[in-house]
């Protein structure tokens, strides 16, 4: 009788432990996503401040030169000259062998995609930063796009999870990717069925992580 009672008690204990683990798993995932979102909001606020400072404090000749440039290569060189002073970026060679970003839906970023980057830089915090010229000569359109992997080289290396991005305008203003899109579009794109690129703005306006 005692042996049977022990088996029942043991089984009950295992069920309780299993139930507790099931209860804790979603919280664990949720906490991780919350940390990424919180980190992104911190990074964006710093970038907004830094690019505003760049525009205000940069040498007038450099700013004038940026506006007069006609080639994407020259614009990127000038912008990086400004950005490195404030962002403390160092270029990472052969990073594509170790770093392979994907979208939120699990699809790998193709080298020909709009949000694929040839060059990556590392910040002193360990964040991986991508920078690309958009070949726009219109002052009202962004001239550069930047991606920021707040988790660095470590996974998941996915848009909308630990990768976010901004558009950079020639006057120093920035906007998160997805800015100007409808809430319905943002919510759909910022889910396991979407790319996750628009999460950059969706999380800025209070959107929650959607599996």
Under DSSP, the state recorded for 143 is S
Query: The whole model's pTM is what?
Result: 0.74
Residue 50 has a pLDDT of 78
Helices (H), 58-158: 60-68, 72-87
State how far the alpha carbon of 23 is from the alpha carbons of 29, 30, 73, in Å. Answer: 11, 12, 52
186-207 pLDDT, tens digit per residue, is 999 999 999 999 999 999 998 8
113 contact partners, CB below 8 Å, separation of at least 6:
none
Degrees (nearest 5) of the Cα angle 89, 91, 94? 150
Average pLDDT of 77-84? Answer: 64
Q: Tell me the pLDDT band of 119, cut-offs 50, 70 and 90.
A: confident
Lowest mean pLDDT among 25-29, 30-34, 74-78, 139-143: 25-29
Examine the pLDDT at 133 and tell me if it is beyond 90: no
User: Given CA atoms 127, 144, 85, 42 in this order, what sign does their dihedral have?
Assistant: negative
């Amino acid at each position: 009788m005692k042996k049977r009672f022990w088996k029942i008690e043991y089984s009950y204990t295992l069920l309780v432990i299993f139930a507790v683990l099931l209860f804790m798993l979603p919280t664990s995932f949720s906490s991780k996503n919350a940390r990424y979102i919180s980190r992104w909001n911190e990074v964006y606020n710093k970038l907004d401040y830094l690019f505003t400072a760049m525009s205000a404090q940069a040498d007038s000749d450099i700013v004038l030169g940026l506006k007069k440039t006609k080639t994407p290569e020259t614009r990127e060189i000038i912008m990086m000259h400004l950005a490195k002073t404030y962002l403390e970026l160092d270029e990472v060679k052969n990073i594509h062998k170790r770093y392979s970003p994907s979208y939120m839906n699990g699809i790998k970023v193709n080298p020909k995609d709009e949000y694929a980057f040839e060059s990556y830089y590392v910040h002193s915090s360990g964040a991986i930063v991508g920078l690309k010229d958009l070949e726009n000569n219109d002052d009202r359109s962004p001239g550069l796009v930047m991606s920021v992997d707040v988790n660095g080289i470590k996974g998941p290396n996915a848009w909308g999870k630990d990768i976010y991005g901004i558009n950079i305008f020639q006057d120093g203003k920035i906007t998160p990717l997805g800015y100007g899109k409808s809430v319905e579009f943002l919510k759909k794109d910022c889910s396991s069925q979407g790319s996750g690129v628009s999460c950059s703005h969706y999380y800025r306006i209070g959107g929650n992580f959607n599996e």
